[in-house]
Structure 1
Amino acid sequence: MARVIFYTATTLDGYLADESDSLDWLFAVPGGEGGDADFHGFLDGIGVLVQGSATYEWVLRHEGLLDHPERWPTFYGRRPTWVFTSRTLPDVPGADIRFASGPVSAAWPQIRDAAGDLDVWVVGGGDLAGQFADAGLLDEIRVSVAPATLGAGKPLLPRRLGADRLTLTDVRRSGQFAELTYAVRA
């Protein structure tokens, strides 16, 4: 059965992106571009990606994917990607992108079936991960804490999840990042 994992990076003060939805702060940190062996191992276990519209639009802009759709597999491979949005967004030619709106629970049967025996990665954002938690579908949070602060921006997880729902299962260091892994109870 597919697990749902929110795997992301955050600033020390708990922001995923700045007020302009930019992740430039992340790439300023040595190692912030990702790609270590642990991340590649994680990605090998992923069957489906899920992201919100702000994350999707940032990736499109930052990587120029509408002009260079051949770059899509560099980031996400050939995995199906669900983008939750209330707006009409451009599609990346050749990528398996499925747009969804409404509650995550309504799209969950299709997401689960597409993932098969592999896991589902909630790429971003924090509110979408919170919607999975609200629906009792979020199984794990893996967050890499960066040595940076923003003071304001998009919060890591704009929900109240107490210690009764979160159990620390692993801590590791990856360069300048501290990675924390939590199991999430429904």
Structure 2
Amino acid sequence: MDQVPRSIEVLRQQARDELAAIIEHRCRAGEDPWHFIPDLPSVDEQVVISLRAGAIEEFDLAEEQSRAHHPAAGRDTYTRFEFGVLRRIALEHPELSEAVWGCSTRSSARSKPGGMGIVTADIAVSLDGFAAGPNQSLEHPLGEHGVERLHTWMFEYADEHAEEIAAITAAGAYVMGRNMFGPVRGDWPAEGDRFGDWRGWWGDDPPYHAPVFVLTHYEREPLTMAGGTRFEFVTDGIHAATDRARAAAGDADVAIAGGAETLNQALWAGIVDELRLHVAPLTLGAGERVFDRVPSLRLELLRSRVTPEVAHLTYRVLR
């Protein structure tokens, strides 16, 4: 790999410091980092801004644009960091990750008044960490590669795991991802179009019997179902969804209902207090993995129970 000029590295460090200060200031002001970070420039865009401003005139701008993010590549590969996916910051620039992780955790702690329940998360995973297989679709809601075996303990051996199953649906409110709610991608279809009348995977009486806040980029009117379940669609991020779930739950717990991507967001943001992994004795090899690109976590084992079908592991997430 080519050597990046020393002065470019100096500019990068200056840009990191500036962006970290901006993120810290806006977090302290109460803004949700998941909401505003997509609008920030990347570190290397800040470098280009400095170059255009004449901060270092001896370098050729076009050359440095091509080298700044991918030193060994051509100019066509110069692209902004995907700040909309907050976890990417940790991979590219740990200095910024620390600023965002710290203020996200403080924001989560501030928004939880004393006396409220905790935030839990239950998820079934394979031994290699996958909670869903590849190629999710209407025919294969959890993906392919025999992923349904992750839940054998729940459906074929329910009596032997009644306590764990009851705990999954004991929360006062839930937060789930768009993919967990259904197969629709992009904007919600109009009534009369395919999936235009989609109301979730669970029929008219879903098992939640409480408010469920669904993360999405597209607005949709709430859905009131039988049995007390009400789906509300949240477009302003996981912190906002969790705050609304806490308000709805009162003194009861809030549960992160999946899938893996939503759980990873919640772990990243410091929202989860108790993590319950249900580890099935199989491997999947591909799909959506729990802890994928999540920063390092400290976990304390609270309890465990092992049956031939599954290992139930409950952890406290340490701050």
Aligned-residue RMSD, C-alpha: 2.9
Cα distance in 1 between the residues matched to 2:205 and 2:308: 26
Map of 2:181 onto structure 1: 56
Larger Rg: 2
Map of 2:276 onto structure 1: 142
Query: In the alignment, which of 47, 50, 53 is matched to residue 172 of structure 2?
Result: 47
Q: Deviations over 1:114-154 (max 9, x none)?
A: 01111111111222222222322210110111122111100
Map of 1:154 onto structure 2: 288
Output the amino acid matched with 2:309.
Answer: Q
1:45 Cα deviation after fit: 3.3
Map of 1:170 onto structure 2: 303
Map of 2:91 onto structure 1: none
When structure 1 is superposed on structure 2, of 95-104 and 82-91 the one drifting more is 82-91
| Residue 158 (structure 2) pairs with residue 37 (structure 1) | no
Query: In the alignment, which of 175, 179, 184 is matched to residue 312 of structure 2?
Result: 179
Cα distance in 2 between the residues matched to 1:99 and 1:150: 31
Map of 1:28 onto structure 2: 149
Give the alignment of 1:117-132 within 5 angstroms.
117-132=251-266
Contact 2:219 2:235 in 1 (8 A): no
Unmatched tracts of structure 1, length 5 or more = 59-64
Cα distance in 1 between the residues matched to 2:202 and 2:244: 26
Q: How many residues align?
A: 178
Bigger strand fraction: 1
Contact 2:177 2:259 in 1 (8 A): yes
TM-score with structure 1 setting the length:
0.80
Partner of 1:28, secondary structure, is helix
Partner of 2:313, secondary structure, is strand
Seen in structure 2, the aligned counterparts of structure 1 residues 175 and 72 have a Cα distance that, compared at 3 Å, is: farther
Cα distance in 2 between the residues matched to 1:129 and 1:66: 23
TM-score with structure 2 setting the length:
0.49
1:72 Cα deviation after fit: 4.2
Partner of 2:305, secondary structure, is strand
Identity within the alignment, %:
29
Cα distance in 2 between the residues matched to 1:68 and 1:112: 22
Output the amino acid matched with 2:312.
Answer: E
1:88 Cα deviation after fit: 5.2
1:102 Cα deviation after fit: 3.0
